[in-house]
Structure 1
Amino acid sequence: MPLAIYMLGLAVFAQGTSEFMLSGLIPDIARDMHVSIPASGSLTSAFAAGMIIGAPLMAILSLRWPRRRALLIFLAVFLLAHVLGAVTTSFGVLLATRVVGALANAGFLAVGLAAATAMVGPDAKGRATSVLLGGVTIACVAGVPAGAVLGQMWGWRSAFWAVAIVSVPAVIAILRSVPATGPGSAETSARRELRSLRDPRLLVTLLLGALVNGATFCTFTYLAPLVTDVTGFGSGWVPAVLALFGLGSFVGVTAGGRMADTRPMPLLVAGGAALLAGWIVFAVTAGNPVATLVLIFAQGALSFAVGSTLISQALYAATGAPTLAGGFATAAFNVGAAAGPSFGGIAIGAGLGYRSPLWVSALLVALALATAGVALGVRRGTANRREEAPAPAR
């Protein structure tokens, strides 16, 4: 893997830390900004909305720029948004910086996926994708807990400064190591890329990605109350449990990247079936501490192995639209990240208890497997009809 891809992964690590770190900073922000906890929580919703809307829009905007320029612009805007967020005393300005930071993050990830896959051979998109997504999983393992520690020691603003500081070496490295232009970077036609996105295989892959990621974040969001109220762990175990899930995610995205280019279908079929079985077993055995710890690691690994493979398959399915495919893949996965916790919250609010997100996760994966089966049947049926169609008369 070229060094530049690892530098893109460093930037994604900073961005992933920013996306998830607010979970430990919300009370301090609310107190400092003199707003309610729900109002402070809207900072997370604003970031998610910016990622969903911004991924395709920023990808389209960047089509007229060389990839290095686009990456530098998006990363510089992301960095400056965090500097402004760290110094502002206005909650409205802080909210705006979250939206702007999310838009820049979405654009960077869309272009970064295209740039990374362009720097490797045509059969190595999965490995390149896994390096970038590895930055997100490392953020879960190290970045988010570190942000919480900084917030406790020096206040929530120090976490924003840390994200900005970590972004600086990525800016320098991208400037020096990413090619100034890329295939189709400055000359790419947005209309041509949009036409390439009509491929049914791509649309199905994006839907599957949204469902699988929805399942992942449905449970991850409510993991803390699950392990304290159902499993019986003390609150001091929560950071370790979250880190265990993140460690499993890193293992999964790394292993998935090695298989995604050579054996994607066996990985998706076997991994999807194992993922469904894992959520069901987790829901049944959540009261057992040993089973819970094992399944937290296993489900993190399976979720990100399958999820990262679906992203690489989206890029394979849209070779004529590498930037927009990355943008729409980013949007689809963030739709899942926003919808999954909402479905889990509805189940909990209905009085079904903290095990219910596990059942919702199982249902979402079951829907993904059913969708994949129907799509495969339709594709085979279409191929058979084409083979049986009589040759045109001459």
Structure 2
Amino acid sequence: MPAAPSASYNRLPILALAIAAFAIGTTEFVVMGLLPQIAGDLHVSIPRAGLLVSGYAMGVVIGGPILAVATVRLPRKPALLLLMTIFIVGNLLCAISPSYEVLMVARFVAAFSHGSFFGTAAVVAGFIAPPAQRVRAIALMFAGLTVANVVGVPLGAMIGDSFGWRTTFWIVTALGVLALAGIQRFVPTLDSMPASHLGDEIRVLGKTQVLLALLITIFGFGGVFTLFTYIAPILRDAGLSADAVSAVLVLFGAGATIGMLVGGRVADWKLMPGLIVLLAISIVSYLLFAAGLHHAGIAIVGVFALGITCFLPNAGLQGRAMQQAGDAPLLASTLNQSAFNLGNAGGAFIGSAVLARGFDYPALCYAASTIAAIGIVLVLISQQLEKRTPSVLADAT
């Protein structure tokens, strides 16, 4: 990644991007708390309404690479404004959708810019910050996504329950407009930022280290959703009420925000050794959670600890993909968002398979630990290859 233009570090552009991340994170996850209202209003079953979550995920996976290629020649600030506009249009369509089919299309549209926005925003955040604070800046931007789980999702579900699910999407649309205004006002034009070239961006994807970085993201984060997808029934099984489960999930989001910011500092220290340490910490937390998940008090503390430890590696995972892409980080950064989502989907699938075979909830923790351990092995392989071939940034090893 090219050096930032100066050592000064204005955090207002990062905060504007974090507000956008908050809006995107809210619309991604809030539908899970609105399923009964949506199903009743649009006269579909709960399982069919649940497919709106899958529709969004497909929009992220498909839209990210397409829009990254389509906007590669645009300067980064206009690209961010365009991507945020697509997000606003998608959520506006959600708010006025007359039918389930239209809502599904609207969710897909809202998600289409997700991967490309975060990929571009990560590149911009890393460029604005001084070299020693790049991963921290990326972590601060992504913190908006985790804060959405603490505030946006439960508040959006509460608003939807009181005033109708469409009101939630109207508010998310307004948040999108606020983020658009913040980007326009505070994100600089970045004239000194090197232009992206489609050929360079595509060639980067042929690099072994870039492909390894994407695999590290899939396995490094895949374990989280192997367990977290089933956290509500786990907590109910430990004796918590439905209301208590909602409160504990807020704790998870708060822990995730802390983990994201702390992990960014660790990754700025030494990226690859930091990833190994952080993934190892997540493995320990999975195993400790398995030992205490049948006890309500221990489970509550464990969920908060999981939020911190499981999100510790995230900023480093994003930073590694961008680092190895060198001067053409846009497409790799965007595809890394698809890698996060593939990890989510794959982790949830593995968790479902574990339970379908008759194993109890602690087995999910062991499966999550195994997935994270594979991530560590991939990091070690990447390090060994780097010793044979000099890295893009030698000080990262």
TM-score with structure 1 setting the length? 0.92
Contact 1:197 1:321 in 2 (8 A): no
- Structure 1 segment 250-289 matched on structure 2, within 5 A: 250-289=257-296
SS in 1 for 2:361: coil
- Structure 1 segment 215-230 matched on structure 2, within 5 A: 215-229=223-237
Contact 1:13 1:143 in 2 (8 A): yes
Show the counterpart of 1:58: 67
- Of 90, 93, 97, 1:88 maps to 97
Radius of gyration: which is bigger? 1
SS in 2 for 1:179: coil
Residues of 1 paired with 2:306 and 2:322: CA distance?
Answer: 24
Show the counterpart of 1:197: 205
Show the counterpart of 1:389: none
Residues of 1 paired with 2:382 and 2:82: CA distance?
Answer: 39
Show the counterpart of 2:243: 236
Residues of 2 paired with 1:215 and 1:254: CA distance?
Answer: 20
- Structure 1 segment 313-392 matched on structure 2, within 5 A: 313-380=320-387, 382=388
Residues of 2 paired with 1:182 and 1:23: CA distance?
Answer: 41
Segments of 5+ residues of structure 2 without an aligned counterpart are: 1-9, 391-397
Contact 2:204 2:328 in 1 (8 A): yes
- Structure 1 segment 135-146 matched on structure 2, within 5 A: 135-146=144-155
Contact 1:125 1:315 in 2 (8 A): no
- Of 184, 188, 192, 1:179 maps to 188
State yes or no: 1:188 paired with 2:196.
Answer: yes
State yes or no: 1:295 paired with 2:292.
Answer: no
Show the counterpart of 2:20: 11
Contact 1:9 1:133 in 2 (8 A): yes
Deviations 1:106-138 (A, max 9, x none): 221121111111212233220111011101110
Residues of 1 paired with 2:383 and 2:292: CA distance?
Answer: 33
- Structure 1 segment 100-119 matched on structure 2, within 5 A: 100-119=109-128
Deviation at 1:373, TM superposition (A): 2.9
State yes or no: 1:79 paired with 2:126.
Answer: no
User: How high is the sequence identity, in percent, across the aligned residues?
Assistant: 34
Residues of 2 paired with 1:196 and 1:99: CA distance?
Answer: 28
Residues of 2 paired with 1:383 and 1:336: CA distance?
Answer: 28
Show the counterpart of 1:206: 214
Deviation at 1:356, TM superposition (A): 3.1
Residues of 2 paired with 1:219 and 1:372: CA distance?
Answer: 22
Residues of 1 paired with 2:358 and 2:192: CA distance?
Answer: 53
Residues of 2 paired with 1:374 and 1:114: CA distance?
Answer: 25
Residues of 1 paired with 2:385 and 2:92: CA distance?
Answer: 51
What is the one-letter code of the residue matched to 2:353?
I
TM-score with structure 2 setting the length? 0.91
Deviations 1:84-122 (A, max 9, x none): 111121211110011111112222112111111121223
State yes or no: 1:122 paired with 2:131.
Answer: yes
Show the counterpart of 2:54: 45
Give aligned pairs, total.
Answer: 381
Contact 1:111 1:326 in 2 (8 A): yes
Show the counterpart of 2:174: 165
Residues of 1 paired with 2:196 and 2:322: CA distance?
Answer: 16
Segments of 5+ residues of structure 1 without an aligned counterpart are: 385-394
Show the counterpart of 2:161: 152
Deviation at 1:378, TM superposition (A): 4.8
- Of 63, 77, 80, 1:68 maps to 77
Contact 1:16 1:139 in 2 (8 A): yes
What is the one-letter code of the residue matched to 1:163?
V
